[in-house]
Structure 1
Amino acid sequence: MSRIGVITFPGSLDDRDAARAVRLAGAEPVRLWHASDSLAGVDAVVLPGGFSYGDYLRAGALSSFAPIMTSLVDAANAGLPVLGICNGFQILCETHLLAGAMIKNTQLTFVCTDQVLRVENTCTAWTHQYSEGEQITVPLKNQDGQFIADESTLDELEGEGRVVFRYVGNPNGSRRDIAGITNARGNVVGLMPHPEHAVEPGFGPSTDGLRFFSSALTATLAGA
């Protein structure tokens, strides 16, 4: 059975939800602690949503210096599948595993809604069970969710097909409607919406998010 780690930082809110999503997808969730430098031999890692360290300094900035992130950066650069959700995406940007940065939403308020996304890239470890152009609905909840980057970086993301999701109806001012991106290798993905809150009937707006975790499961089994 594939083992997918879920990192808990001080202020993580959605680590248990992410672990539940991993379990529902058929993998074994493994709790990882921010102050440890061990990844416990897992096959993939999820950085969950929340407000690590209270979002002091910048959202995700302090967590990027956690001991486990040193190990994770090395493992991600070696090909380990990594998913950053909301605060996890912010942390991945702060560690430069992903391009760009996050700032406050254009309306300067917290946004909480069921958000429609369009799938742009199905070649990553986390999205290969989706169809290009497919629209999915998952919850969105953030205050620092506006994705920004300079024009050359945005052009590079577009030109290399590294935009993974776009908002259908931009809720926060993100450049070019970008909701999620990947690295060049396709093993690291970050997005602001929350797929872990859309994994089972009757809880959340859909079950569209489950395929993030089942995609990682099959990707890790294929690489075993």
Structure 2
Amino acid sequence: MRIAIIVFPGSNCDVDLFEALHSVCNTDAQYVSYREKSLADFDAVMIPGGFSYGDYLRCGAIARFSNIMPEVVKFARAGKPVLGICNGFQILTEAGLLPGALKKNNNLKFICKTAALTVENNATLFTKQYHSKEKIYLPIAHADGSYYAEKNVLSQLEDQQQVVFRYADENPNGSLNNIAGIINERGNVLGMMPHPERAVESLLGNVDGLRVFKSLLEGKVRTKEASR
């Protein structure tokens, strides 16, 4: 599997994501600049965390108009896997690939800690290796991570099992319905505020995020060595 990691001005979790995919999962991951206009030959797209364009206007609002984004939208609408983490989640909502929006945390402060989550839907491309309702722990680091959507959208997300991750012990940012991650109706676009790429090695004390990537890589995987 060949994975594109989209890099915007202000991205700062792109290296973390690359190391998780390349060094830990031994996958053919490549950085792709926001200036590019093609995602040809890639099997999946991931948008990392950070502060794209300094988070001016709204988080992800400017990144949504980058050269690469029409290709990301086309990629997603073709049914191919797209994962947005933290700022990547914000960008996906701004691009209309996921419903709702991410607003400022209720306490108006940047939060950096490990959060407890429950896996609400383990039947997605990204969660097949988890158990239903399994409790996991992932790092969060955001100032604008409070998920908001209109009541009818929330009802649809719940009814169609599009809530994939939910905050467990506490709601750190005020997200409605304790939502930490959602997927689109088709099941190929996942946005999540917690950082699975920062929890993939036992050396760091936590591997709860590794199965997000392992789930996607399940089956036919084209590693860098195999593709040479």
Determine if the TM-score, normalized by the shorter chain, exceeds 0.5. yes
How far residue 40 of structure 1 moved from its aligned partner, in angstroms, is 4.0
The answer to whether 1:111 aligns with 2:104 is no
How many residues of Structure 1 are paired with residues of Structure 2 in the alignment? 220
How far residue 128 of structure 1 moved from its aligned partner, in angstroms, is 1.1
2:11 alignment partner in structure 1: 12
Q: What is the alpha-carbon distance in structure 1 between the residues aligned to residue 32 and residue 18 of structure 2?
A: 11
The answer to whether 1:59 aligns with 2:55 is no
How far residue 156 of structure 1 moved from its aligned partner, in angstroms, is 0.4
Q: For each residue in 1:23-63, what CA deviation from the matched residue of structure 2 results, as whole angstroms up to 9, or x when unmatched?
A: 21231111111011111411111100000000000000100
Q: What is the alpha-carbon distance in structure 1 between the residues aligned to residue 87 and residue 127 of structure 2?
A: 19
Secondary structure class of the residue paired with 1:90: helix
Q: What is the alpha-carbon distance in structure 2 between the residues aligned to residue 34 and residue 76 of structure 1?
A: 16
TM-score by length of 2: 0.94
Q: What is the alpha-carbon distance in structure 1 between the residues aligned to residue 125 and residue 219 of structure 2?
A: 6
2:80 alignment partner in structure 1: 80
1:165 alignment partner in structure 2: 165
Q: Displaced runs of 4+ in structure 1, greater than 4 A?
A: 219-222
How far residue 189 of structure 1 moved from its aligned partner, in angstroms, is 0.3
2:93 alignment partner in structure 1: 93
Q: For each residue in 1:143-174, what CA deviation from the matched residue of structure 2 results, as whole angstroms up to 9, or x when unmatched?
A: 00000001000000000000000001100000
2:226 alignment partner in structure 1: none
Contact 1:146 / 1:175 at 8 angstroms: preserved in 2? yes
Q: What is the alpha-carbon distance in structure 2 between the residues aligned to residue 90 and residue 116 of structure 1?
A: 21
Report the AA paired with residue 3 of structure 1. R
TM-score by length of 1: 0.95
* Structure 2 unaligned blocks of 5 or more: 223-228
Report the AA paired with residue 80 of structure 1. K
Report the AA paired with residue 123 of structure 1. A
Q: What fraction of aligned residue pairs are identical, expressed as a percent? A: 50
Q: What is the alpha-carbon distance in structure 2 between the residues aligned to residue 68 and residue 126 of structure 1?
A: 23
Q: What is the alpha-carbon distance in structure 2 between the residues aligned to residue 128 and residue 187 of structure 1?
A: 13
